[in-house]
A and B are shown apart, each in its own frame.
Chain A
Amino acid sequence: MSANTKIPSEDILSRKWDECISNVIVKSGIGLSVGIVASALLFKKRSWPISVSTGLGLGYAVSQCERNFNPTLVPVAKKVQEEKK
């Protein structure tokens, strides 16, 4: 991603935090908007689609953040499979 500008190594984590926070804001914002639209159009103005959708967006952002901070993360089912082998 930064082939032109080299990040000084002490700023790696700061970069990651930046990405993480921006990710969270963007994705939860998108979730929120999708939820509002869905609730208005499909779900008869109930409140739960909004929170569900925002939560989905937030969760997705958090999981991406996890993977960004810990690239060695492997889903548990896969780990169990490999161990069984």
Chain B
Amino acid sequence: MMGMNRLAIAGSRHTAMAASSMRATQYRALAQRFNSTDAKKTVAEAAATPAVKAKSGLRFRTKAFITLTVIGAGVAGVVKHSFDDPEFRTLLEDNIPHFAHSMDKLELIKDNEDLHKVINTAAQASEKAVELSKTAYRTASDLINGTTTPAPEKKVDASSSSLAKKIQELEQPKPAVPAVRSEYIPSAVPAPAPLPGAAPGAAPKSVDPTPKVEKIGAKVEEKFDQVKDKAQEIKEKIQEAIEKEKKEEDVAPAPPKKLITIAPIESEEPIMSDLNTTLHQLVSILNENGIPEQGHEVFEKANAELKHLSERVEALKVEGEAQAATVMAELTEKYDRLVSEKEAHHEGHVSQLKKELEETYEQEKRKAIEHELKIQQEILREEQKQELMKYAMDMQRRWVREVKVRVENERGGRLARLDKINMRLKTLERQGEDNAEFLDQSARTHQLWCGIKALEKAYEAGERRPFDRELARLKRLAESEKDAEVLKAVLAAVPEAVAAEGVDSVPELMDRFEYVADRVREASLVPENGGVLAHGMSVILSKLMFKKHGLVPGNDVEAILARTEYYLVESDLEQAVRELNQLKGWSKRLAKDWIVAARRRVEVGQAIDVINTHANLVSLTLA
């Protein structure tokens, strides 16, 4: 019954899908359901599954589209990345056949100037459009709201920044140029703002100097006023003077009436002549100005009287002179007498003085002579003493010499013999010392040899053994030696750590080298800056490489390892170390510790060689 239902349903569906051909899967599903006796699936499920099946999987077109998009995105990403990362680009160029060519072409397109211009213009156009839209929006909102909004300030474009900045600077109002000058003009100019680049401390201090300056200005003004007043005064005075002169000139001379004439008085007296001249002057003035007749008579009278006066004066003069002469004669007589008396008196005085002076002079002379004599006596006595002393010393010396000569002659025989004995004693001493030194030296050399042997034993042991005690002993021995600078230097060159730890023996080093060589081989194929994958590949692929042996030429890792092994087998550690030092990169890093250990051993060996040579030298020079 259920099967009948199912079949009916299937049949109905089949008729619905009559146009499209039935797919195999659907047929199979139907067949399964038809054939199975499973009663669990309901009708809804049976209806649902084919629908799901019908829609499973996208159409080919969509699949192709998605694939192409993904591939295109991948290629674009690879190209972009290769522009940015040159290592990536070289990697791709090396491995992909025509990648380099395509990349060059793309670069040409990328660097194309026209393209840049187009892109720039497009960018600018878009910016303008954006701005336009903004303004439109603003105007629209204003219109709607009835408000006015101010236009925003235009930002200076970055491309023209320098030019715009310069323009802005020029447009700025330049403040008063010298900010310092404001000190001298306090009230007129206000304090200017500082220049953009000026130091902040250059602000003018216009407050403090103003009172002083104002005072000075006031004083200057006062003085100026004074000068002006004075000038004015002078001007006025001059004006007055001019006016005065003018007034004087205005006095017109009166017409002459009658001239007065008087005879001139001549006399020797100056007073008289003065009087005469004044009278003449008066006359002339009066003549000029004109006076009535009365004046004539008066003047003539005056003239006559003046004449009388002058005669009288002359007579008086003569009398006076005579009197003066007699008086003069008397006075001269008196004077002469007095002079002669005085002279006589003085002469007596003078002769007395002379005598006294002579006496004193004689006394002084005598004194000086005595003094000189005394001095000379002293000098002579001194000289005598010196002579005596010299003579005494001479005598003494002669005496001493005599004594010496005698004594030596006396000793001649015995003293010489004593000297000889002394010399022999000294030589004996020296020989004894030399012997002792020789014995010491040989003992020390033996000790040195023992120490060296001990060190060598520690060095040549089959395993790592510390030799710090032997080294310390050798150092002690070296200190007591002379001419052991080399020894001391070499012993000091061996570091304490090495001595305390000891050095590896050659078999140990060979063992370790095998292990190291394996690690080095594993790391030999790692490129520079390799990651996990590189290291892993190196480990795996190195196991596929052949190992080399013997003294093979070449610079690769295998050859180096082979050569090192060869030298190791021959116990030529120095060469082995030198070879292994030629590794590079990770291999070298891995081999570093082995190289260090081998080097230590080599260095200690060299030190021991040097010490051996030194000991040889010492024992050779001993004999």
Question: Which chain A residues have a beta carbon within 8 Å of chain B's beta carbons?
Answer: 8-14, 16-17, 20, 62, 65-66, 69-70, 72-73, 76, 79-80, 83
Contact = CB atoms under 8 A, between A and B. Distances in A.
Contacts of B590: 9-10, 12-13
A8 B593 contact: yes
Given A9-B593, A12-B589, A65 B532 contact: yes
A69 B522 CA distance: 14
A16 B81 CA distance: 31
A65 B531 CA distance: 8
B291 to A, nearest CB: 128
A2 B332 CA distance: 147
A69 B591 contact: no
B534 to A, nearest CB: 8
A13 B531 contact: no
A69 B530 contact: yes
Contacts of A14: 519
A62 B532 contact: yes
Query: DSSP majority for the A interface?
Result: helix
Interface of B is mostly: helix
A66 B85 contact: no
Given A10-B515, A13-B519, A14-B519, A70 B531 contact: yes
Contacts of A83: 84, 86
B586 interface: yes
Contacts of B522: 13
A69 B532 contact: yes
Name which of A12, A14, A83 has the most chain B CB atoms within 10 A of its CB: A12
A73 B590 CA distance: 20
A72 B529 contact: yes
Interface string B158-196: 000000000000000000000000000000000000000
Contacts, number: 54
17 contacts: A9-B589, A9-B591, A10-B520, A10-B590, A10-B594, A12-B590, A13-B590, A62-B532, A65-B531, A66-B531, A69-B532, A69-B534, A73-B529, A76-B85, A76-B88, A80-B85, A83-B84
Interface string B590-606: 11111000000000000
Interface string B533-546: 01100000000000
A39 to B, nearest CB: 24
Contacts of B512: 10
B509 to A, nearest CB: 13
A59 B515 CA distance: 32
A70 B519 contact: no
A9 B590 CA distance: 5
B531 A69 contact: yes
Q: Which 7 pairs show the lowest CB-CB distances between chains A and B?
A: A9-B593, A66-B531, A80-B84, A65-B532, A9-B592, A10-B516, A10-B519
A11 B530 contact: no
Contacts of A62: 532
Interface in B375-411: none
A10 to B, nearest CB: 5
A20 B539 CA distance: 14
B523 interface: yes
A73 B531 contact: yes
A69 B85 contact: no
A11 B591 CA distance: 9
A65 B532 CA distance: 6
A12 B592 CA distance: 11
Interface string B466-491: 00000000000000000000000000
Interface centre among A13, A17, A62, A79 (most CB of B within 10 A): A13
A55 to B, nearest CB: 16
A13 B586 contact: yes
A14 to B, nearest CB: 7
Nearest to B595: A9
Contacts of B592: 9
Contacts of A76: 81, 84-85, 88
Contacts of B85: 76, 79-80
A11 B586 CA distance: 12
Contacts of A73: 529, 531
Interface string B494-536: 0000000000000000001001100110110000011110110
A43 to B, nearest CB: 22
A66 B532 CA distance: 5
A35 B519 CA distance: 38
A11 B88 CA distance: 32
Contact of A13 (B515, B523, B529, B594): B523
B9 to A, nearest CB: 32
